[in-house]
Amino acid sequence: MAVELFLGAALGEAFNILHEVVKKYGRKALNFNSAFKRLKRNLDRYAPAMEEIRKASKELELPKEETESLIDQIKKGKELIRKCSEKNWLLRIFKYYDELTELNEAIVTFIKVDMNLQTRRDVLRLLKATQRKNKETWPSYSVPKPPDFIVGFDVPLKELKTELWEESLLLLTAPGGCGKTTLVKMLCQDGEIKDKFGDNIFFATISNAPNLKVIVQTLLSHAGAQVPEFQSDEDAINHLQELPKRIGSNPTLLILDDVWPGSETLLEKFTFHMPNFKILVTTRTAFTRFSSYELKPLDAKDAKTLFRHSTLQDGSSCIPDDIPDEYIDKMLKGCGGFPLALEVIGGSFRGLSAEVQLSRLRKWSIDDVISNLDLHKCLQRSLEFSGPEVKFKKFFMDLGSFPEDRRTYAAAFIDMWAELYNLGEDGVDASATLQQLNIRHLASLVMTKKDGSEFSRYYNEDFVTQHDLLRELAISESKQEPIEKMQRLIMDIRENALPLWYTEQNQQPTNARLISISTDKLFTSSWCNIQAPNVEVLVLNFQSKIYSLPEFVEKMDKLKAVIITNYDFFPAELINFQLLKSLSNLKRIRLERVSIPSLFKAPLWLRSLKKLSLFMCSFGLAFGNSTMKVKDALPNLMEINIDYCNDLVELPAWLCDVILLEKLSITNCHHLSALPKEIKMLENLIVLRLRSCTELSELPDSIKCLQKLRFLDISDCLGIRNLPKDIGELRNLEELHMKGYLNLRNGLPQSTEKLKQLKLVICDDEERAKLWEPFKEVLTNLEVRKVEKEISLSWL
């Protein structure tokens, strides 16, 4: 972090004390002394912003950078005001007129010139948001946003809130798909709840395979405590007792979402005997020892309203008015008032002709499946795609490759679908597909705002979640054929229980092109020997500190993409990553929460690899000290994405030997302080994205040698004070992003006028937009586009 940009808490506290002293002793003086009036007026003017900075500095635990002369002057000013309040105060005020004037001028000068108060306050806001953003990339304990449209929950909300005030631990019970999680999200947005608990609302999704250590680690992290590596669940529970110390006597609400039967003992571990601490649990089954509130399905009126809303297309329902109500009523009866079923079925009508809709409703009205509640079969009806829409069924089934209730980043689907279906390298088609699944309520997609330009399409922060019932449906649909003919093989291994088909089929070869294997924290056994000669995409999901790749991977000659995700709190060590080196067709590797040094313990040869993505990985010192000969090991690598890797301090020089590299994206790596001068060797680089690398202090002068560079993003690089003087040598630069809190002290270099190909500059501040005014006569094709500043980071 560029600490010279920020005030520590000390100056803010000194300012606050002076302001209070002036307000306390200065009432009489205001009538007689103009210097005192000016001082009081400026203190009042700057106090709110200074107080925000003081609080933010303390919260962020920023270094107490003290401008010592000003702090000393403020302290002396405090004594000066007190002297003016003593006997003969009127004479004293005039006696100290010069000192008061000097103090006032010193404060105003520092705030306007040295500090630039408004900018620094905004920077601290951004840093606070960035810290939240970093935490949210771990398992989320902040409350998710409720759906935009909710109906029928006003009365349950009022009743649930009433019961919550009475109980220290309350269960919210209902079958799956009834809307328990939606109601809880709605509760957390309630004014009374927010006034009562403020920021002390923790939201944890438990699911059917809870990892107690990860839950406790993330909970402590969210509360601001230091997070250790636990040796056991007992160790985690012992450390959980630190939580009351962190939150003190502040009212706190802990929400444990989707708790499965058999987890009663888990609830007891989170029960603290402290006032104002409440636990709300959502579960499908009531536990008799705890009080509970049962959520009922929607009544007929609300069910029809939600269904109609789910069919909206271009602002109106896609269901024609002439379709008989009796058909719709029978279909709604089959949905049983379950919001999940109503939304999914309603979404399935979008894009269908009136004839197809009528035919479908007629069929459903005489089908016992839809007239008698069976939620699985009801949801299955939504998959009756026709025409060009049939393709969406295979995309939906692919969603089952990732765990329920977990964030799966859009970038993973881009890699998967680019190889399975040739869906495009830039992610546009994959993103559009995810949006279509979202419209049909088959998945929930959260997208960051795109600037609409060709180069700004970066999907590493967009993510998808899926209801567990929909994931079960996706897996069920994938199993309709015999094991040897399945196109996708999805395995969930709990503890060490291998799937039945493995023993029953006697290890027969599978024809699957996609294999997904998820293991829990208790998995310790050896891998089974799967014969999958045609697999092209391998997805591995696990929760472990140390992980061993399946040995059968070495025989997957057609493998094109590997997606490895660790759902543990700390990055995991992959102990046999070298198995991939023999795969001649492997083009994409995506690693999430993996220790990178463990990959380079032996020579690594990935001659066909074109794209490498590292998300929340740990680099350590070994990565920078590697002597790997990149030209030999990764001769065809064209894209590198590094996101949220907080211990990446310096980009290793050897990485600049990737001569064919066209895209290099390094985002939210807040400790990255420098780029190597050898970056000039990346002569084929087209895209350089350095967004939100807050400690990056400069761009090396050698960047001028990147003659093919067309896109540069330095948004929210707080430490960059000046652009390279020869930046104008980037003759093919077409687009420059400089959003956020860039503090360009000396404006733009004169060489900027040479950027003749520059077409678009993205910024979000009038001051930075004005920097381009002197160059508009020369850069005739340039558009300076101001976009809305996004401090809130709504994607959280």
DSSP characters over 132-167: HHHHHTSS--SPPPPPS---S-HHHHHHHHHHHHH-
In degrees and rounded to multiples of 5, residue 361 shows phi and psi of -65, -35
pLDDT value of residue 66: 42
CATH number at residue 286: 3.40.50.300
Report the sign of the C-alpha dihedral through residues 617, 620, 624, 629, in that order: negative
Q: Is the domain of 128 the same as that of 161?
A: no
Q: Domain ends where: 133, 168, 196?
A: 133
Q: Is the domain of 95 the same as that of 168?
A: no
Burial of 65 (0-12, 13-18, 19+ CB in 10 A): middle
pLDDT value of residue 226: 74
Q: Is the domain of 159 the same as that of 95?
A: no
Output the DSSP codes for 514-565: EEEEEE-TT--SPPP----TT--EEEEEE--SEE---GGGGG-TT--EEEEE
Q: Is the domain of 713 the same as that of 773?
A: yes
Q: Is the domain of 7 the same as that of 120?
A: yes
Query: What does the alpha-carbon distance between residue 165 and residue 276 come to, in Å, rounded to a whole number?
Result: 10
202, β-bridge pairs: 254
pLDDT value of residue 78: 65
Q: Domain ends where: 243, 270, 294?
A: 294
Neighbours of 279 (CB within 10 A): 21
Query: What does the alpha-carbon distance between residue 761 and residue 714 come to, in Å, rounded to a whole number?
Result: 11
Q: What is the mean pLDDT of the chain?
A: 81
Residue type, 392: F
Computed over its alpha carbons, how large is the radius of gyration of the chain? 30
pLDDT value of residue 393: 93
Query: What does the alpha-carbon distance between residue 740 and residue 126 come to, in Å, rounded to a whole number?
Result: 8
Number of domains in the chain: 3
Q: Is the domain of 118 the same as that of 210?
A: no
Q: Is the domain of 164 the same as that of 279?
A: yes
Residue 705 lies inside a defined structural domain of this protein: yes
Residues of the chain with pLDDT under 70: 1-15, 21-37, 45-46, 48-98, 100, 107-142, 224, 247, 273, 366-373, 452, 501-507, 602-603, 621-628, 741-742, 745, 789-796
Burial of 449 (0-12, 13-18, 19+ CB in 10 A): exposed
pLDDT value of residue 791: 44
Residue 793 structure tokens: 């980071």
Q: Domain ends where: 86, 102, 133?
A: 133
Q: Is the domain of 781 the same as that of 664?
A: yes
Cβ–Cβ under 8 Å, residues 100 and 36: yes
Cβ–Cβ under 8 Å, residues 130 and 191: no
Q: Is the domain of 42 the same as that of 93?
A: yes
Query: What does the alpha-carbon distance between residue 588 and residue 559 come to, in Å, rounded to a whole number?
Result: 9
Q: Is the domain of 159 the same as that of 277?
A: yes
Report DSSP state, residue 448: P
Residue 509 structure tokens: 């070869």
| Residue with token string 């107490």 | 64
pLDDT value of residue 31: 47
Containing domain of residue 221, as a range?
Answer: 154-294
Query: What does the alpha-carbon distance between residue 393 and residue 414 come to, in Å, rounded to a whole number?
Result: 17
What count of Cα atoms within 13 Å lies in the side-chain half-sphere of residue 655?
Answer: 22
Residue 409 lies inside a defined structural domain of this protein: no
- Which helix (H) or strand (E) is 196 found in, with range? helix 191-197
pTM: 0.81
Q: Is the domain of 103 the same as that of 182?
A: no
